[in-house]
C-alpha cells in the first residue's frame, strides 16, 4: 500500500492527460493511466516512472461502466487507495449540424464526455469519501457557448459542469470541480482545423486555423499543471465551481509547487 497520493487520470495516453500525469509524477504521486491506446499508455507510464512517480497503465474505454469499475479495482489492487480522479478523456466529434448528425455518433460523444465521469465517480465514491478525495472534471468553454455543428460536445460539457455541482452538493467529504483548460494545442484542435470542412461554418474553421497559425494555442503542459495541482491540493471552497486553468488562485500555487518546466 502506498502512502503517496493516488490519482486516476483518464485520456492519459496523450495531450492534457499525459501532461497532467507527468506533473503528478514530479510530485511523487502514484498514477493509474487510463486510455484506449496501450502503446501510448506504456510510453507515458515509463515517463512517469522516470520522473519519480509510480504508474500503472490500464487500457480501457471509459464509456463502458464496467471498464470504469475495473479501473478503480485495479488501482486499489496496485496502490491500496484512491485520492483523486482526473476525468480528462473527451471527444469533440461529431462535427455536423443537429439535423444531420447521426444519433449513434451523438450518443457516443455523450457517453465519453458525460457518462464516463459519472461511471468513474460512482465506482470510486467510497474511496473518495474515505480519503477526503478530489474529482477534477476537465470541461471546456464550450460548456457555456453555443457552437454550431458541435452540439454533442457543448451539451456534454454543459451537463458535466452541472453534474459536478450536484456531486459537490451531495458529497461533503469530496471536493469536486470542473476546470476550463483553455484552447490547447492537442489532437482535438487538429480535428477542428482539419476535419470540419463542409460541416462547420467557414468563419469558425478559419478561427481554429488562425489560432494555430498565430501560435495562440496553449501548450498542454500549462493547463495540465493546473489540473495536476487541483488533483493534489484543490481546497474545499473550490467544490462545485467551474474554474479557469489560469485563475491566479490555481496557476500561482501550481507554478510554485511544480516549477516552470516539465
pLDDT digits (tens, 9 = 90+) for 181-192: 998 877 888 887
Kindly tell me if the per-residue pLDDT of 122 is higher than 50.
yes
DSSP assignments along 56-76, one per residue: EEEE--TTSHHHHHHHHHHHH
Once rounded to an integer, what is the mean pLDDT over residues 157-165? 98
Kindly tell me if the per-residue pLDDT of 71 is higher than 80.
yes
Share the mean pLDDT of the chain.
Answer: 94
Residue in 5, 13, 63, 139 annotated catalytic: 139
Share of the chain above pLDDT 90, in %: 83
**φ and ψ at residue 85, rounded to 5 degrees:** -120, 140
Kindly tell me if the per-residue pLDDT of 137 is higher than 50.
yes
Residue in 153, 208, 239, 245 annotated catalytic: 153
Once rounded to an integer, what is the mean pLDDT over residues 208-232? 90
pLDDT value of residue 39: 93
Once rounded to an integer, what is the mean pLDDT over residues 227-233? 98
Predicted TM-score (pTM) above 0.85: yes
Kindly tell me if the per-residue pLDDT of 155 is higher than 60.
yes
The helix or strand, by DSSP H or E, that contains position 182, with its residue range, turns out to be none
Kindly tell me if the per-residue pLDDT of 115 is higher than 70.
yes
Burial of 259 (0-12, 13-18, 19+ CB in 10 A): exposed
pLDDT value of residue 31: 98
Once rounded to an integer, what is the mean pLDDT over residues 43-59? 96
207 is catalytic: no
119 is catalytic: no
| 3-state SS assignment for residue 84 | strand
pLDDT category of residue 1 using cuts at 50, 70 and 90: very low
Q: CA 166 to CA 223: how far, in whole Å?
A: 24
pLDDT category of residue 2 using cuts at 50, 70 and 90: low
Once rounded to an integer, what is the mean pLDDT over residues 93-98? 94
Kindly tell me if the per-residue pLDDT of 3 is higher than 80.
no
Residue in 119, 157, 208, 239 annotated catalytic: 157
What are the residue ranges of helices labelled H in the chain?
15-26, 38-50, 65-79, 103-110, 116-130, 151-170, 187-194, 202-213, 221-233, 248-258
Once rounded to an integer, what is the mean pLDDT over residues 233-244? 98
Structural class in CATH, domain 6-182+220-258: alpha beta
Share of the chain above pLDDT 70, in %: 98
Once rounded to an integer, what is the mean pLDDT over residues 108-137? 98
Amino acid at each position: 500500500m502506498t502512502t503517496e497520493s493516488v490519482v486516476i487520470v483518464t485520456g492519459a495516453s496523450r495531450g492534457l492527460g499525459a501532461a497532467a500525469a507527468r506533473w503528478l509524477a514530479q510530485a511523487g504521486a502514484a498514477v493509474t493511466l487510463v486510455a484506449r491506446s496501450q502503446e501510448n499508455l506504456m510510453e507515458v507510464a515509463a515517463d512517469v516512472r522516470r520522473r519519480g512517480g509510480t504508474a500503472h497503465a490500464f487500457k480501457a474505454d471509459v464509456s463502458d461502466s464496467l471498464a470504469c469499475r475495473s479501473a478503480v479495482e485495479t488501482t486499489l489492487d496496485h496502490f491500496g487507495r484512491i485520492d483523486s480522479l482526473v476525468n480528462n478523456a473527451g471527444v469533440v466529434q461529431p462535427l455536423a449540424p443537429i439535423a444531420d448528425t447521426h444519433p449513434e455518433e451523438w450518443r457516443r460523444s455523450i457517453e465519453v464526455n458525460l457518462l464516463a465521469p459519472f461511471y468513474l465517480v460512482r465506482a470510486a465514491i467510497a474511496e473518495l469519501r474515505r480519503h477526503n478525495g478530489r474529482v477534477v472534471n476537465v470541461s471546456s468553454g464550450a460548456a457555456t457557448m453555443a457552437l454550431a455543428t458541435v452540439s454533442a460536445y457543448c451539451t456534454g460539457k454543459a451537463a458535466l459542469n452541472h453534474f459536478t455541482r450536484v456531486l459537490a452538493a451531495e458529497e461533503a467529504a469530496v471536493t469536486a470541480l470542473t476546470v476550463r483548460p483553455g484552447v490547447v494545442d492537442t489532437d482535438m484542435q487538429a480535428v477542428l482545423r482539419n476535419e470540419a470542412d463542409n460541416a462547420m461554418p467557414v468563419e469558425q474553421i478559419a478561427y481554429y486555423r488562425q489560432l494555430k497559425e498565430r501560435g495562440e494555442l496553449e501548450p498542454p503542459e500549462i493547463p495540465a499543471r493546473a489540473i495536476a495541482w487541483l488533483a493534489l491540493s484543490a481546497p474545499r471552497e473550490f467544490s462545485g465551481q467551474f474554474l479557469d486553468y489560469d485563475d491566479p488562485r490555481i496557476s500561482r500555487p501550481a507554478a510554485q509547487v511544480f516549477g516552470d518546466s516539465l
